[in-house]
Amino acid sequence: MRAKKGPRDEETIPLKKETAILALVVKADTAGTMEAVVSGLEALQTGDVSVEVIQTGTGDISKSDLLMAETGNRLVVGFNVGLLPRIAEEASERGIEIRLYDVIYKIIDDVKEITQTMIPSEEEEMITGRARVIALFPGGRKGIILGCDVQEGTLAIGKKFRLISEPGTVYEGTIDSLHIETKAVKEATPGQQVGLKIAFRRAKKGDLVECFEISRPSRHLWRPQGRVLDLRAGRS
């Protein structure tokens, strides 16, 4: 997956995803319609988002429904049920969203749309700099100093890096200090030679230092608005 540009190959590497959960309360006018609504919602389950109906019931939306909704995603869905003004006010105070319907497929479509906003974005890794180890210097008891020739991008304080040898990565850490000759610097760019101290003693000339950063692309996530949405026919 490619989202941001880096040096050379401008590669980004997808890492991991987590499963999101939409936990909601459902009320309906009859047990039969309740079963149909819940069945439709449970069919929305995917590997990315889990839809969990944490409470069901027949009749008007009540305070107990609001209290249960607070333990989930603060969403209450009602099918052909009533809502007293004081319950609507309390829902607003608690930041709970209530959605009222009289068509089952509209419930399923709307909840599906909400779940689409909750699909976790994949973390991405972007390479921000590369340098080749050209010399090794004593670095005290806990490590050594790598003499690095910066080839691409930048090596910068605070950046994550890995040391790549044969057959692959042998060390990962964060850059705490960089020196060009005896001067401490915040970053080094192509053409510069810089000293990088690491807590690893088995590096060798020819190894590759690769700086990287990990990001998660932003997305517009659904959040309860503390409101009542009357989505019944002729009222939306």
Return the CA Rg of the chain. 28
- Rounded average pLDDT over 188-204: 94
CA distances from 176 to 126, 133, 170, 197 (A): 20, 17, 18, 8
Is it the case that residue 3 has pLDDT exceeding 50?
no
Specify the pLDDT at position 99.
Answer: 98
The rounded distance, in Å, linking the Cα atoms of 107 and 101 is 7
Specify the pLDDT at position 236.
Answer: 53
The rounded distance, in Å, linking the Cα atoms of 90 and 87 is 5
Specify the pLDDT at position 67.
Answer: 97
Q: For 86-100, how does the pLDDT look when each residue is reduced to its tens digit (9 = 90+)?
A: 999 999 999 999 999
Give the DSSP letter of residue 138.
E
What is the percentage of the chain residues whose pLDDT exceeds 90? Answer: 73
> Tokens 């939409």 sit at which residue?
22
Specify the pLDDT at position 231.
Answer: 95
* Interior/surface letters 37-65, b for 16+ CB within 10 angstroms, e for the rest: beebbeebeeeebbbebebbbeeebbeeb
The mean pLDDT of the chain is 89
- Rounded average pLDDT over 110-138: 90
- Rounded average pLDDT over 47-52: 88
Is it the case that residue 10 has pLDDT exceeding 50?
no
| Cα angle: 166, vertex 167, 170; to 5 degrees | 75
pLDDT tier, 14 (very low <50, low <70, confident <90, very high otherwise): very low
The rounded distance, in Å, linking the Cα atoms of 181 and 165 is 25
Q: For 51-61, how does the pLDDT look when each residue is reduced to its tens digit (9 = 90+)?
A: 999 999 999 99
The rounded distance, in Å, linking the Cα atoms of 151 and 49 is 42
Provide the β-strand partners of residue 14. Answer: 124
Is it the case that residue 232 has pLDDT exceeding 50?
yes
Is it the case that residue 110 has pLDDT exceeding 50?
yes
Q: Which of 232, 231, 229 is nearest to 92 (CA)?
A: 229
What is the percentage of the chain residues whose pLDDT exceeds 70? Answer: 89
Look at 45-49, 160-164, 194-198 and tell me which has the smallest mean pLDDT: 45-49
Cβ(150)–Cβ(134) under 8 Å? no
Q: For 162-179, how does the pLDDT look when each residue is reduced to its tens digit (9 = 90+)?
A: 999 988 999 999 999 999
The rounded distance, in Å, linking the Cα atoms of 144 and 136 is 7
- Rounded average pLDDT over 111-115: 94
Q: For 26-35, how does the pLDDT look when each residue is reduced to its tens digit (9 = 90+)?
A: 999 999 999 9
Nearby residues of 227 by Cβ (< 8 Å), 6 or more positions away: 91, 92, 97, 98
- Rounded average pLDDT over 118-140: 88
Cβ(91)–Cβ(223) under 8 Å? no
- Higher pLDDT: 153 or 15? It is 153
Is it the case that residue 196 has pLDDT exceeding 80?
yes
